[in-house]
Amino acid sequence: MPGQVHQEKFTPHLLIDMLRVHADREVLFLPDGSAQTGREIAEETSRYCQAFKALGLDRNSRIALLSGNRAEVIHITHATLIETMLISSLHPMGAVEDFVYVVEDANIDTIIFDPKYDALIAEVKERCPHLERVWSLGPSDAGRDLLPIVAEQQPAPLVAPPLTGEEVYRLTYSGGTTGKPKGIEGSYRCFLSMTQIMMAEWEWPEDMRQLLVSPLSHTGAALFLPTLMSGGSFYVIPGFEPVAVMEAIQKHKINCLLMVPTMIYALMDHPRFSEFDLSSLETVIYGASAMSVPRLQEAIEKFGPVFFQFYGQVECPMTITIMRRSEHLVDDPERLASCGRPVPWVDVALLDHKGEQVGEGEAGEVCVRGPLVMPGYYNKPELTEEAFKHGWLHTGDIAVQGPDGFLRIVDRAKDMVITGGFNVYPREVEDVIIAHPAVASVAVFGVPDEKWGEMVTAAVVLKPGMEATCEELVKSVRAAKGRHQAPKAVHFMDAIPLTNLGKLDKKKLRAQFSPEPGAASA
């Protein structure tokens, strides 16, 4: 048939091809010290495909997965991809309320979980009686042990499904920093586009040895296939712990890893940082949130010119813009404050509230078009329509574009503070405060105030053994940005709360410090 002649390949096809290419090579190295070849991964994935079908799952099944970093996560993710079942990953750092919300909102019928989350799943099971299947990856009181059933299956060749590309394979729930999480639909088209862009634009080392330090059920799903397609190897550790990460880099001569900025800060600030040989690193990929200019300069000094930045969001995953290693100009603060230039695979524009493009140097919302964009928000047509108004995906990020094409994110539109009639972008205030030599991290946000409408507020973590006062931090902002942008309150904290994705949790900070509990103020 003519349609078959032009049939497009999607991620299941690429995955099966790459597992076959690397059938005899160890490509996946696991926390328990074991390793798997491409053939072993394919065979175990096949067992899960068959077990799912034998236990009554089909392409209409909706699965939630909760697990730490273990091999089964890879096999389950691949099996659902190939069998066109919908999967939604529950974050290991989440709470029962988060899990119940996802199960109910996404109409989940099956939960698969690591037994170490036994108590959490038992509560979810009690609160979600509509769940049809609760399966554990090992003996558990809360669910049926899935592993013996999988072990009974005989592996068969993996076969990619017929696809249009518009089928929704994954529901990813937003961090919920500005309200209830939304189920973001990920289609096969969307994931293929993401993989193509990563392969074309990201700077992967030769003979790549990639270390995964974040949950395998989340970031690992995006990084595994590009690693395989690059002929690299994938090393997995249980989670992010600074010493464990540095030990793994030194032991395995890791040359590539992805971290959020808070992880990079934790490595640099660790008292044992100088004990480890990290010279094998060639590419340190960072994203998910902005990295402050002074700390990025410090990181380049300590690690070398190895940093590669990507900017994207789940609605347009991983890569809207990039900034290559050579583009990190250490003596150019404005360049280091940028998130790079748009990749050529998507259309990017900065628009005002009318949907019209702003001029060079003017602030506008980052808006995107292209095959990378999500189909929409699950069961939320009004929110989808709002996100796609004017025929663009509206990211909610406010940016300016310089004459060289580099974008600089000013802030999240919803994070903007309106105080005394002035618009204050927290990112710009944070950049001033983080430049103080004693400041390790900072979050700026607004809290309700009778006089100002909103009061600019800062939460600050100091570096170990160093000091700073409220007055000197406020004074520095006044000098750099003007009086109206200076914080009216500064709260010194041991740690700033983070979302499950490692971003500063400003929603939690607003709740904690509103109304004002009597911290130092100016």
pTM of the predicted model as reported, rounded to 2 decimal places: 0.82
Mean pLDDT is lowest, of 11-15, 173-177, 364-368, 429-433, for: 173-177
Q: pLDDT band for position 417 (50/70/90)?
A: confident
Question: Is 429 buried (19+), middle (13-18) or exposed (0-12) by CB count in 10 A?
Answer: buried
Residue among 304, 409, 400 nearest 296 (CA): 304
**Sequence spans of domains, the chain:** 8-163, 189-413, 416-512
pLDDT at res. 518? 41
Q: Which CATH architecture has domain 8-163?
A: 3-Layer(aba) Sandwich (3.40)
Q: Residue 178: is its pLDDT beyond 50?
A: no
Question: Dihedrals φ, ψ of 67, to 5°?
Answer: -160, 155
What are the residue ranges of helices labelled H in 352-502? 381-387, 426-434, 470-481
Pair 52, 60: CB distance under 8 Å: no
pLDDT at res. 320? 96
DSSP 8-state symbol, 311: E
Pair 184, 174: CB distance under 8 Å: yes
CATH placement of domain 189-413: 3.40.50.12780
Chain segment 284-337, per-residue pLDDT in tens: 999 877 788 888 999 999 999 999 999 998 899 999 999 999 999 999 999 999
Hey, what are 407's tokens? 């974008």
Q: Residue 177: is its pLDDT beyond 60?
A: no
Chain segment 433-486, per-residue pLDDT in tens: 998 999 999 999 988 887 777 889 999 999 999 999 999 999 999 888 878 789
DSSP codes, 200-228: HHS-PPTT-EEEE-S-TTTHHHHHHHHHH
Mean pLDDT for all residues in the chain: 91
CATH placement of domain 416-512: 3.30.300.30
Chain segment 255-289, per-residue pLDDT in tens: 999 998 888 989 999 999 999 999 999 999 998 77
Strands 209-212 and 26-29: unpaired
Q: Please check whether the two domains, 8-163 and 189-413, share a CATH topology.
A: yes
